[in-house]
Amino acid sequence: MQRLIINGGKRLCGEIRVQGAKNSALPLLAGCLLAEGRTVLRRCPELTDVFAACRILNELGCKCSFRKDTAVTDPVGADGYRITEELMREMRSSIVFLGAVLGKTGRCELSYPGGCELGPRPIDMHLNALKQLGVRICEEHGRISCTCPKGIRGAVIDLPFPSVGATENIMLAAACAEGDTVIRNAAREPEIADLADYLNRCGADIRGTGCSTLRICGVKKLHGCEYEVMPDRIAAATYMAAAASTGGELGLIGIKCDDVQAVTAVFEEMGAAVYCTNDRIFISCVKPLKAVRMIRTMPYPGFPTDAQALVMAALTTARGSSMIVENIFESRFRHVDELVRMGADIKVSGRTAVIQGVKKLCGANVRAHDLRGGAALTVAALGAEGISSVEGVCYIDRGYELIENVLRSVGADIRREF
């Protein structure tokens, strides 16, 4: 089993070019199925989840190749509609292929997705929305079979919660539907806007991104294009947390400040100095960190659940008591026991965690149980005294391009052991 060996206590200083966004690349790759022609996705991150998405495309008959940071797809002749259980279980975001395959072939058969265990993430919202578009759904023995006897037809869909995945699935299914589709209470995340921008460049007609009401006017067909994946706001939050944990100073290149405003506001409350320009962020954490009163994870533009563990890791040595309320997922505190193993003082009750800052963390052997939890343990180990071993690197590789190389480039003492 691979692990990261980290000799903590080294201040991180330097510049990091932020990778392309995992949470955008996956729906964009699914959207490539809908185009009639070749698509070139640049700044596509080299991640195990991205490689899994490419395997799904190939299984569906879409030619997909990946080299360096560029994915090239050609769906000509792609008429597959079945996705094997093995591929579906590789990542939770695989459900986004449901809308794309339905939009492409009018039918789809797949199983429930796998990936990190973050508690219930039901797909009922996805299925109910697709039913309103004319999709017939049969669930049996863990498989979901979908057909569109009369084709996909536009509808007005009211989401009970602004789900990113459900919004993406509706967009993909409705892009070439007959008539108009309106999504009320749509997700507003920047990744939604990125998917809409890509589909619009391919010839779609999607309006209202960034607002709670999204309108998709169905078009007859889409064409391929060249497109650049947006920067990864959660990777940026990770490196900001690493700077805070080590008392360092980092420049993050290629990141939109507006996308991470909820996160930068928390670091400023902790006492960090944050400076933003159009495409970069500079964070200086040379002053002792202070606790924050309360962080509540919320849908965008609120504080992102994906950044909760990362900021918690930095808060473990902040002066005072901080509180985090997790409103999105039930099982998103699995990293807490591992942080406590390093000397953190954290009490969890239900969806609430109270972090009492300690003077220092100590190196320890810890294990990641999910993607962001693994990144949080890495952040904590960077600031801890002594040597830490972080196991479960396979989770971290789902969302970060060789995280040890990036951190080493700005002064971390870190290596990967096989």
Tens digits of residue pLDDT in 333-346: 999 999 999 999 99
Out of 199, 228, 257, a domain closes at 228
Task: Tell me what pLDDT residue 78 has.
Answer: 93
Question: 301: pLDDT confidence band, cut at 50, 70 and 90?
Answer: very high
Only one residue has tokens 């004319």, namely 134
Same domain, 221 and 237: no
Do 188 and 101 fall within a single domain?
A: yes
- What pLDDT was estimated at residue 111? 87
Residues 120 and 39 in one domain: yes
| Enzyme catalytic residues | 116
Residues 14 and 71 in one domain: no
Residue 268 confidence class, pLDDT cut points 50, 70, 90? very high
- Please indicate, yes or no, whether residues 186 and 55 belong to a single structural domain of this protein: yes
Q: Among 116-120, 152-156, 384-388, name the one with the lowest average pLDDT.
A: 116-120
**Does the model's pTM come out above 0.85?**
yes
Q: Are residues 190 and 292 in the same domain?
A: no
Q: CA Rg, the chain, in Å?
A: 21
Q: Return the CATH number at 104.
A: 3.65.10.10
Please give the Cα distance from 314 to 72 (Å, whole number): 38
Say if residue 409 is in the same domain as residue 263.
yes
CA–CA gap between residue 222 and residue 205 (Å, rounded):
10
* pLDDT of 116: 47
Burial 12-47 (b: 16+ CB within 10 A, else e): beeebebbbbbbbbbbbbbbbbbbeebbebebbbbb
- Contact between 246 and 313 under an 8 Å Cβ cutoff? The reply is no
CA distance 14 to 252: 9
Same-domain check for residues 358 and 238: yes
- How many domains does one find in the chain? 2
As annotated, the binding site for phosphoenolpyruvate includes 22-23
Q: Which is higher by pLDDT, 85 or 174? A: 174
Residue 140, pLDDT score: 86
Of 113-117, 264-268, 310-314, 383-387, least confident by mean pLDDT is: 113-117
CB atoms within 10 A of CB 281: 24
Residues 277 and 242 grouped into a single domain: yes
Q: CB-based burial of residue 120 (10 Å sphere; 0-12 exposed, 13-18 middle, 19+ buried)? A: exposed
Q: Is the pLDDT of residue 283 over 60?
A: yes
Is the Cβ–Cβ distance between 167 and 187 less than 8 Å? yes
Which residues, in sequence order, are CB contacts of 23 under 8 Å at separation 6+?
A: 93, 164, 189, 191, 232, 234, 306
Tell whether the model's pLDDT for residue 118 goes beyond 70.
Answer: no
For residues 182 and 264, state if they share a domain: no
The four Cα atoms 187, 280, 236, 416 give a dihedral, to 10 degrees, of: 150
- Convert the pLDDT of each residue in 144-157 to its tens digit: 999 999 999 999 99
Q: What is the C-alpha to C-alpha distance for residues 151 and 135, in angstroms, rounded to an integer?
A: 8
Whether the pLDDT of residue 312 is over 70: the answer is: yes
d(Cα 94, Cα 99) in Å, to the nearest integer?
A: 11
- Token readout for 7 is 């000799």
Enclosing domain of residue 401: 3-19+231-417
Model pLDDT, residue 93: 82
Q: Which two tokens stand for residue 134?
A: 């004319």
- Which residues contribute to the annotated binding site for UDP-N-acetyl-alpha-D-glucosamine? 92, 306, 328
Beta strands in 46-88 (DSSP E): 63-67, 70-74
d(CA 55, CA 61): 10
Contacts of 207 (CB under 8 A, 6+ apart): 214, 215, 217
Read off the tokens for 355. Answer: 């972090």
Overall average pLDDT of the 249-270 stretch = 97
Q: What pLDDT is stored for residue 119 in this prediction?
A: 45
213-217 and 226-228 beta bridge pairing: unpaired
Preceding amide of 299 cis, omega within 30: no
Q: Name, in order, each residue with C-beta under 8 angstroms of 221's C-beta and a sequence gap of 6 or more.
A: 36, 176, 203
**Which of 203, 228, 253 corresponds to the end of one domain?**
228
Coil, strand, or helix at residue 145? strand
Same domain, 162 and 269: no
Q: Which residues are annotated as part of the binding site?
A: 22-23, 92, 306, 328
Beta carbons within 8 Å of 123's beta carbon, 6+ residues apart = 95, 112, 113, 165
Q: Are 240 and 263 in contact (CB under 8 A)?
A: yes
Give the pLDDT score at 123: 87
Mean pLDDT of 104-132: 79
pLDDT at 117 over 50: no
- Out of 176, 201, 228, pick the residue that ends a domain: 228
Q: Can you tell me the mean pLDDT for 6-18?
A: 98
| pLDDT confidence of residue 1 | 84
Token pair for residue 91?
């990542």
224 and 236 inside one domain: no
